[in-house]
Amino acid sequence: MDEDEVARRPRRGGMRWGLLTLLFLGIALTCVLVSNSEGQYSGLTFLGLVVGFGGAAYCSYRGLKGFSWLPR
Instruction: Write the Ramachandran bin of 14: left for phi over 0, alpha for psi from -120 to 50, otherwise beta.
Output: left
pLDDT at 65: 86
List, for residues 35-54, the tens digit of each pLDDT value.
999 888 889 999 999 999 99
Instruction: Write the Ramachandran bin of 10: left for phi over 0, alpha for psi from -120 to 50, otherwise beta.
Output: beta
Q: What is the pTM of this model?
A: 0.72
Which amino acid makes up residue 26?
G
Mean pLDDT to the nearest integer, 16-30: 94
